[in-house]
Amino acid sequence: MTARILTPEELALLTLVQDELVPAHGDLSAAGTLGAALTVDAYLAERPLLRRPVLTALRAVEAAAGETPFAELDSEGRVGILRQVENDDPEAFSELVKQTYNAYYTRPDVQASLGIDGPPQPLGFELPAFDESRLARVRAMGKLWRDA
């Protein structure tokens, strides 16, 4: 699968950024390594209004990194750059984070790591029925409404 909106450079940068936003956890790789950048690219293709903030945030990351490319920084350095961009343009950066979360938490493997067996339908969940005896105290409160 190739990107439709992001250039190869932007895709690579987004992948690195996403690895810092949602790092590896247990057996799960970080978001970028899992391929969340391509998913975000698909969102950008479907919803043009997302392009401006996401691309703005990516450009800001590049710019903030200065002469040392983001890719050549260690994790601490990358996080520092991302904090700077978040501080300078919180609106664009929060959209980048949101779309990364969207891509990450819609993955079945990530959901499985949280104990989710599948989507809500068709199985739903079996929950206990209501027990009326729990209302004994409230029933004894008497009329609480004003007639009119």
Q: Could you give the string, one character per residue 17-46, with x where binding to another protein holds by CB under 8 A and - elsewhere? A: ---xxxx-x---------------------
Q: How many residues does the chain have?
A: 148
**Does residue number 130 form part of the binding site for another protein (CB under 8 A)?**
yes
* Burial 28-55, CB ≥16 within 10 A → b, else e: bbbbbbbbbbbbbbebbeeeeebeebbb
**Does residue number 64 form part of the binding site for another protein (CB under 8 A)?**
no
Residue nearer to another protein on the CB measure, 49 or 67: 49
Contact 57, 92 (CB under 8 A): yes
Those residues whose C-beta lies under 8 Å from the C-beta of residue 112, and which sit 6 or more positions away, are none
Which residue stretch of 4-12, 51-59, 60-68, 122-130 sits at the interface with another protein (rule: CB under 8 A)?
122-130
Which residue stretch of 3-11, 51-59, 66-74, 114-122 sits at the interface with another protein (rule: CB under 8 A)?
114-122
